[in-house]
Amino acid sequence: MGLRLFRERCKESVLQSGRGRPCTGGVRHPLRGLWGGAASSTKASKSEPGASPNVSEAFSQAKPSMRIRSKKGFFFTMVAIALSMVLILSFRVYDVQERNQKDEVVTARILALNHLVKDVKEDVRKGLYITSKRALLGIQEYVAEEGAFLPNATASFREGLLNGTIQGIETNLTVNATFPDWMAKIQEQAAKADVDLNITILSISLQHAGPWDANVTAVMDINVTDRKGTASWQQEQEVSALVSIIDLEDPLYVVKTGGKITNIIRHTNYTPFVQGSDVTNLLLHTNDSLYIASNYSPSYVMRLEGNLSASPDGIESLVNVVKLQINNVQTYDRSVADAVYFGTETTTNYRINNTPSWFKLDESRLDLYGVAGLTT
């Protein structure tokens, strides 16, 4: 009776604790004072109904543990995927940023090259103007020293502009002051910006753009290349410069007077020449040998060649015969219009009232100077 009660209490305590198995063996008999043997233990394990519930409970306790491990694995997998995505996106963002930076650098370089090209064009135009003026002055120096007209004014001008010589002779105003010299300076400046600039001059022309200006046109092949390989620009370019002939010497006076008289080309300010019968302005105009535009006379370029034919870009002065006499220059009984006076053309000439005896004008110029009603 005591043993049975003990076993029941032991079973209850085991079931409540959820651990181990029922106390069937190793129990001291309260009457015998001995420990139960293996047989008792075996018997209890076979017959005790409490054994199956304990195994079920062990399995039920293992299932939550497996679930926890599964959730942890899923969590770490998702974290790994997220980190991979972040790394991939980071590399892609860096790549895009690097490309954008490169694009910005390229764009900035191209814009800088465009500005350089514009500056080159402007510098070329400025250089063409300056060196053209010096080439004309070089021609003026040659005519004065040689006392001769040019066989081909345009060819001589081109020679002075490109080589610094006129008819093979160096002039003070063109030495080291040619158009190629100017181009070399532009190329040096371009090189400082890591740009290769190549300019090939294809042609040079000299033409009049009205009576008072010469138009110089240069056709060039311009090649601009960025040394970093970012961009390049190549174009056949036509550049023009308008060069005034005002203040240049008239070669007609220099050659025809043997260098004794020079006459600077200046536009007259004495107009109108005649007011009624008053010819004061006409005489003042003649005394200074000032110039007017006249399609009866040659242009400045034609004068360089000694060509005295009429031109729509012609200019003319009236020769002050007294000045020639003072300088021991041979004088003629001709119209004082310079192209006629220094030429060989035969004209019908008229004396003009209220003027010196040597003052005569040919018939074609009477209206030009407003003296048609003052002839004798």
* Domains contained in the chain, number: 3
H or E stretch at 257:
none
Specify whether 210 is located in the same domain as 255.
Answer: no
CB atoms within 10 A of CB 266: 14
The last residue of a domain, from among 225, 244, 263? 244
Specify whether 255 is located in the same domain as 173.
Answer: no
Specify whether 189 is located in the same domain as 305.
Answer: no
| Predicted pLDDT of residue 74 | 66
Domain-located, residue 91: no
The pLDDT > 70 percentage for the chain reads 73
Domain-located, residue 176: yes
Q: Are 248 and 264 in contact (CB under 8 A)?
A: yes
Domain limits for position 325: 251-374
Domain-located, residue 78: no
Domain-located, residue 75: no
Specify whether 182 is located in the same domain as 223.
Answer: yes
Q: Is the pLDDT of residue 371 over 60?
A: yes
Domain-located, residue 28: yes
CB atoms within 10 A of CB 145: 13
Average pLDDT, the chain: 82
Q: Are 196 and 224 in contact (CB under 8 A)?
A: yes
| Predicted pLDDT of residue 63 | 54
Specify whether 255 is located in the same domain as 197.
Answer: no
Specify whether 106 is located in the same domain as 239.
Answer: yes
Distance of CA 73 to the CA centre of its chain: 64
Specify whether 142 is located in the same domain as 14.
Answer: no
Please identify which residue in the block is written with the tokens 């017959």.
Answer: 47
Per DSSP, the residues of 184-230 read HHHHHHHHHTTEEEEEEEEEEEEEESSTTEEEEEEEEEEEEEETTSS
Nearest to 159 by CA among 142, 147, 183, 184: 142
- The tokens of 159 are what? 């020679």
Domain-located, residue 362: yes
Domain-located, residue 61: no
The last residue of a domain, from among 244, 268, 286? 244
Specify whether 234 is located in the same domain as 365.
Answer: no
CA–CA dist 291, 44 (Å, integer): 148
pLDDT band at 11 (very low <50, low <70, confident <90, very high): low
Q: What is the pLDDT of residues 291-345, one digit of tens each?
A: 999 999 999 999 999 999 999 999 999 999 999 999 999 999 999 999 999 999 9
Q: Is the pTM of this model over 0.85?
A: no
| Predicted pLDDT of residue 105 | 60
Partners of 201 in beta bridges:
220
Specify whether 111 is located in the same domain as 230.
Answer: yes
| Predicted pLDDT of residue 9 | 59
Q: Is the pLDDT of residue 216 over 50?
A: yes
Sign of the Cα pseudo-torsion (257, 261, 264, 266, in order):
negative
Specify whether 205 is located in the same domain as 300.
Answer: no
Specify whether 130 is located in the same domain as 192.
Answer: yes
CA–CA dist 272, 55 (Å, integer): 138
Query: What separation, in Å, do the N-terminal and C-terminal C-alpha atoms of the chain show?
Result: 182
Domain-located, residue 222: yes
The last residue of a domain, from among 244, 259, 276? 244
